[in-house]
Structure 1
Amino acid sequence: MGKLESNKKKKKNALYTTAFDLFTTKGIAKTTISDIVESAGVAKGTFYLYFKDKYDIRNKLISHKTGELFYDAHEALLQAHLTDFNDQIHFIVDYILTQLEKDHNLLVFISKNLAWGIFKGAFEEKITTETDEDYHFYQSFLDLLALSGRTFRSPELVLFTIIELVGSTCYSCILYSQPVTLEEYKPYLHDSIDALLNTFSEKGDVCP
């Protein structure tokens, strides 16, 4: 990555970081573009190079933050050396839940603002790694599926359903320990994920 591209990336990341901090403390409605650029230390013109308005940066920020979560989970999975597809999915889910337990602001921000169009952008978000290689979580999901030899009806719908299940059912468990703590709920969650994967599996390709 050249110096110019590196500087652009730093400025964009500064805008993301600042916008996230302001959105999760002041709220989106009370945050202005002037607030974001002043805190980020960049010109307002720089903001408009990347974003149309504060709602555009909100949407892209959700995709960016979620994409980073997926990437970190994938990197951790590589170190776990798991070969069974279901085990790999359970590992990724547990990793992401652990991160959201550590960062309630991120959980609330994503859960309150995630809609289908943004969601699709999130798991297709291009993450540039430290080696400047591009990473897409959805493609890595398809790669894991291909290596497993399993086949599913509509892999995109499988991924969407799993993430919707995890997000909607774990939100209160993490924030309020209601109706039970996350640790108490996890066995039921993982049983549900296994059942979901079997439901979407092609005939004759169901795990016991």
Structure 2
Amino acid sequence: MGKLEDNKKRKKEALFHTAFELFTTKGINKTAVSDIVDRAGVAKGTFYLYFKDKYDIRNKLITHKANELFGMASASVEKAALNDFEDKVIYIVDFIIDQLTKNPPLMNFIAKNLSWGVFKTALSQPADEGGSIFYDKFMEMIQNDSHHYDHPDIMLFTIVELTSATCFPTILEASPVTIGEFKPYLHRAIRAILYANRGD
């Protein structure tokens, strides 16, 4: 990466970091573009090179943060050296849940703005320049498994939606139980989804 590209990347990262900080402390409605650029130390014109408005940076920030999570999960599952596909999926889900539990501002931010479209975008992009794409890694895990799975996109969608819908209340409100108490039920449900989608 050249010096100019490196500088652009640093500025964009500064805008992301500052916007996240302001959105999670002041809220998006009370945050103006001028607040973001002033705190980031970036010119307003630079902001508009990357983003249309504060809602655009919010949408891209959600994708960016989700993308980072999936990138970290992908790297971590490789180091775990698991052989079974189901175990790998459970590991990835637990990794992401644990990261969100450790970071309440990120958890709240994603919980309020989450949709399948955001996750789909994040899954289809590398976590960083030259990095691997989580969706491709997921498909590779499926291909390397001893079982054939029908409709892997729908299977992944179902797991993401189930996890997000059930884990946010258990993490944020410990309702109906804590996330630690809920995890075994989630694991069983995910394994049931994977088993139901086996085509062999």
TM-score (norm 2): 0.95
Correspondence list, 1:22-61, <5 A = 22-61=22-61
Gaps of at least 5 residues in structure 2 are none
Structure 1, residues 44-85: CA drift from partner, whole Å, max 9, x if none? 111111111111111111111001000111111111100100
Percent sequence identity is: 53
| Inter-partner Cα distance in structure 2 for 1:176 and 1:81 | 34
Deviation at 1:122, TM superposition (A): 1.9
Q: Distance in 1 between matches of 2:147 and 2:33?
A: 47
2:132 partner SS: strand
Deviations 1:131-167 (A, max 9, x none): x523211111111111114332221221121111111
> What SS class does the counterpart of residue 127 from structure 2 fall into?
strand
CA contact (8 A) 1:64 1:125 kept: no
Give the aligned partner of residue 133 of structure 1: 130
**Unaligned 5+ runs, structure 1:** none
Normalised to the residue count of structure 1, the TM-score between the two structures is 0.92
Q: Distance in 2 between matches of 1:72 and 1:181?
A: 24
Residue of structure 2 equivalent to 1:18: 18
Q: CA RMSD for the aligned pairs?
A: 1.2
- 1:155 to 2:155 alignment: no
| Corresponding residue number in structure 1 for 2:101 | 101
Deviations 1:156-179 (CA, angstroms, capped at 9, x unpaired): 221121111111101121122111
The structural deviation recorded for 1:107 is 1.2
The 8 Å contact of residues 63 and 121 in structure 1, kept in 2 or not, is answered as yes
- In structure 1, which of residues 161, 164, 183 is the aligned counterpart of residue 161 of structure 2? 164
How many positions carry a matched residue from both structures? 200
The one-letter code of the counterpart of 2:24 is T
Matched residue SS, 1:92: helix
Query: Where do 4+ consecutive residues of structure 1 move more than 3 Å?
Result: none
Q: 2:117 matched to which residue of 1?
A: 117
User: How many angstroms apart in 1 are the aligned matches of 2:191 and 2:32?
Assistant: 44
CA distance in 2, matches of 1:43, 1:149: 54
